[in-house]
């Protein structure tokens, strides 16, 4: 049995994120660990399951469901997952997966290289779903893939937004890829597989459990340089994903929401405690995760024309009347600038369409009366 076969067998025998076995595989290799589990008299809790694994049946199920099984060292294996071997445990879980089943034609390594995780509440509000969809679509149009968990609420909105932008998206599942969970998202997940990837460290036939959702979250967080949490109550699976992102030293962003909304409790707390960066749109994300040498989309300049004037320019502008005219000497005196400087400033303001000369001096252009205090 080679390393690939041993890793497939361990995926079938050991629950994801088991610290003891993943550490042993890192130290001894998958073949040695599997052999020790199958030794007669092994006292490991996983021994009976390891001895019962039917790899031939697993291979048949993998082919029947058009899946691929990848392991570390394969071209499709994301190097980012290696950080799980050194990151701090979360809820007594951790470690790199032994292998992954993939459904879809894309390369997981390529998609993960420029990706962002978007997570949040299953019981999302209309506001949260709208934000998640807009973020995913906007990121997709900038060439950033979206990774999420395929669940109802924010996850589904994020996948839908990426698909709307015809961008690859990845759904990391907590059960085998022979069936979709939740069933209500079957159509959406079918589209995800067609335009991106479904991913699981569990073999076909395995069903989601609470513990598997929590261990699944570590893959979502580790795959991406950044995780965005849109909505979540304080104790939630999305909050768990943030913990994994912190353990893997990833960037965390949080979307603010209504202060009275329970689903905004986690994002607000993370922002308040400086555990997350405020996220109000795609530009905020690209500033943090954009590749070196590539500028994020420019933000609209929200300064008014007054903000663009220097102190002397503003002083000259302010002394001009809304009606009537003032000669340059009087403007110079009132503004407290030299006559030469005043004339130069008046010329510059005229070029900007703010002031204009008249037969008896200078005035605001078009009888303009806007002032800085208005």
Predicted local confidence at residue 292, as pLDDT: 38
Average pLDDT over residues 225-241: 88
Read off the pLDDT of each residue in 222-248 and give the average, rounded to a whole number.
Answer: 90
The per-residue pLDDT for 293 is 38
- In CATH, 64-289 is 3.40.50.800: no
Task: Report whether pLDDT(196) > 90.
Answer: yes
372 pLDDT more than 60? no
Binned at pLDDT 50, 70 and 90, residue 235 comes out as confident
pLDDT of residue 99: 97
- pLDDT, one tens digit per residue, over 53-95 is 999 999 999 999 999 999 999 999 999 999 999 888 998 999 9
| Per-residue pLDDT at 256 exceeds 50 | yes
Task: State residue 370's pLDDT score.
Answer: 47
Confidence of residue 352 (pLDDT cuts 50, 70, 90): confident
Domains of the chain by residue range: 1-53, 64-289, 306-367
- The architecture of the domain spanning 306-367 is Orthogonal Bundle (1.10)
Same fold, 64-289 and 306-367: no
Give the pLDDT of residue 291: 61
Among the listed ranges 33-37, 66-70, 243-247, 370-374, which one has the minimum average pLDDT value? Answer: 370-374
Q: What is the pLDDT of residue 303?
A: 53
For 97-119, what is each residue's pLDDT tens digit? 999 999 999 999 999 999 999 99
Question: Quick check: 1 pLDDT over 80?
Answer: no
The pTM of the full predicted model, rounded to 2 decimals, is 0.79
What is the structure's pLDDT at 305? Answer: 66
- On the question of pLDDT at 298 being above 60, the answer is no
CA distance 78 to 109: 4
The tens digit of pLDDT for each residue in 261-276 reads 989 999 999 999 999 9
């Amino acid at each position: 049995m080679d390393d690939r076969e041993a890793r497939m067998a361990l995926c079938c025998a050991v629950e994801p994120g088991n610290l003891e076995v993943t550490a042993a595989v890192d130290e001894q290799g998958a073949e040695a660990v599997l052999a020790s589990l199958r030794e007669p008299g092994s006292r490991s809790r996983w021994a009976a399951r390891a001895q019962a694994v039917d790899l031939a049946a697993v291979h048949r199920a993998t082919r029947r469901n058009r899946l691929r099984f990848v392991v570390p060292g394969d071209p499709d294996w994301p190097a980012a997952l290696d950080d799980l071997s050194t990151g701090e445990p979360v809820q007594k879980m951790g470690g790199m997966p032994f292998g992954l089943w993939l459904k879809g034609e894309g390369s997981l390594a390529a998609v993960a290289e420029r990706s962002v995780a978007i997570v949040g509440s299953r019981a999302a509000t209309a506001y949260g779903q709208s934000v998640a969809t807009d973020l995913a679509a906007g990121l997709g149009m900038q060439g950033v893939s979206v990774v999420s968990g395929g669940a109802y609420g924010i996850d589904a909105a994020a996948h839908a937004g990426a698909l709307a932008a015809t961008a690859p998206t990845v759904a990391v599942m907590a059960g085998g890829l022979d069936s979709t969970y939740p069933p209500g998202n079957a159509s959406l997940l079918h589209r995800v597989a067609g335009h991106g990837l479904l991913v699981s460290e569990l073999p076909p036939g395995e069903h989601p459990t609470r513990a598997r959702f929590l261990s699944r979250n570590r893959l979502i967080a580790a795959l991406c340089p950044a995780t965005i949490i849109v909505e979540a109550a304080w104790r939630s699976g999305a909050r768990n994903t943030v913990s994994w992102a912190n353990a893997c030293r990833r960037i965390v962003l949080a979307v603010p929401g209504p202060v009275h909304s329970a689903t905004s409790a986690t994002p607000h707390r993370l922002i308040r405690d400086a555990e997350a960066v405020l996220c109000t749109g795609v530009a905020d994300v690209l500033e943090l995760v954009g590749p070196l040498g590539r500028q994020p989309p420019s933000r609209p300049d929200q300064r008014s024309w007054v903000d663009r004037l220097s102190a002397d320019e503003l002083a000259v502008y302010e002394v001009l009347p809304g009606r009537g005219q003032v000669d340059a000497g009087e403007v110079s005196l009132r503004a407290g600038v030299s006559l030469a400087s005043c004339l130069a400033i008046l010329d510059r303001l005229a070029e900007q369409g703010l002031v204009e000369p008249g037969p008896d001096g200078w005035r605001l252009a078009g009888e303009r009366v806007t002032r800085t205090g208005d």
